[in-house]
Chains A and B, each alone.
Chain A
Amino acid sequence: MRNKILELLEENSQYTFEDISIMIGIPIEEVASIVQQLEDEQIICGYKTLINWDEVEDKEVVTALIEVKVTPQRGEGFDKIAKRIYMFKEVTSVYLMSGGFDLTVVVEGKSMKEVALFVGQKLAPLDNVLSTGTHFVLKKYKEHKVIFEKQKKDERMIISP
């Protein structure tokens, strides 16, 4: 039941408890209490709206993906340095990676200059940060399973019943 609710909410967090209760066939109260539980357990960590800022004319959002090499610390591994990084409000995501570098840090800013300043003044100088490689996002095609393209029209015809 928990997974069914999670899958529906992942698909669309605007589904009401009533919608969910009908679609999976349990009482509304039960849905509400399971969702509460999931929130308490921080399995549901938040509800956000997916926005394609590219289409908004009077606001610019620049996203950069930064490859960061760090020195892990004794007893702390990567967690402590990861925390020092993710606490910055400019940072939207941080992942520990396998392979050629250690952390992927996603940064958002109002301009390329702002992001560059953040990397140069805040991120790169941190102790334990060995190197950074900044890649700016030029265009977002798809995020969180959603394709950022104009939705196509329903072209189905009434051919046969």
Chain B
Amino acid sequence: MSGNQTLNDVVMPQLAESLVSATIAKWLKQPGDTIEQYEPICEVITDKVNAEIPSTIEGVMAELIAEEGQKVDVGQIICRIAVTTAATSPSTTEVNTSGNVQRVVESASANASVGDTSMRNRYSPAVQTLAAEHNVNLQAVQGTGMGGRITRKDVLAYVENAASSRSEVNNTVQSGKESQSPFQGLPHANPAVSPEQYIQASPAATRNQSGLHMTETPKIPTVEVEDSHGRSETLIDVTPLRNAIATNMRQSVSEIPHAWTTIEVDVTNLVLLRNKLKDEFKRREGYNLTYLAFLLKAVVNAIKDYPIMNSVWAVNKIIVKRDINISLAVGTEDSVMTPVIKQADQKNIAGLAREIEELASKTRQGKLKLDDMQGGTFTVNNTGSFGSILSYPIINYPQAAILTFESIVKRPVVINDMIAVRSMANICLSLDHRILDGVICGRFLQRVKENVEGYTLDTKVY
């Protein structure tokens, strides 16, 4: 490192008020890369979302401190960026002292073994007490303290050593270990300071212990194949995202008493309406008019009539949320995210279709921001998109309910004692039975049903 460079610590920023830690997902800059101001240096995962951390300074990435996959507390150093400055400053040494524990150990042990012996003949009360008690000639004891001082532990170790050497004479010369000991050649090897402590001073050992080995392959997501007795098993490391999903699901299932109900909806008119509009819509807007948009509108309007669906259990009270923010479950190959359509009650069907399109594509590209994930009050999952006809969803904690929209299937249905072929779909609802009961949910689902079945060829999407 040249003299006119300074190293700047980059710390994990406070991405949201309640956040105490975040996981490094991916380093976007490697040591040696140049960095512009505001350029992203890494991706982090928090609360089920990816965010990028921009650099606040211009410079060159000097050192990555946090590993990919590592959970870092807010305020902890994640990397260092070297900045070239005109004036030479002493800050390089400053960085060294703050970061380098090893050096202190080395100098401390160096002190102990050679050089300064100014404290060699200064005995503390504890040392004198012990020496008198065990009849130890202090001149024979090797001091490991500051300035060669004999510490209380040195005397204890000496006493113990003398006892063991008396019982096992042969063991006193441990040629293998002796040759590694920093006390080699001195009259008494000092068992109070084990060889391991000195080995620690070597960089490799320290790295392994601290887990900050930069050349190590990142932990996520490693797949290992373990061969045991001819049958192999695949081990998949749990990614931070997987872990977040697991935690949330477990919390929801263990805290919320779930109940489940389902209704059948005739969506024939909706199918006709969408078929009429979809090509023209796609041409004009550039994205698809999905069934989900119509369903969301129907659900949001039903929530307006039954606001208790939009609530949270808060132990001694129930908080009914004013804004209707719909969390949309969006699945990817290996995860599920629930980005939020904010104030869904303020949007028309076309607006909802646009939001759905945006959030789904952001999810697939891994571009969701923390803000996209927060504030949901009710979750809708379009399970029909993967062919399901019935599901028992887990509530998106701490909301009160989750609704799924199942596959649209053509079925013979009895209408006015005649059999007709109609497009039918199931809508399933899991509810927090602490807040909601059967009657209110039944009414709510009936309202959703009325809303969905109420779509006609004249319904406007704008």
A and B form one complex? no
Binding site for A on B (CB under 8 A): none
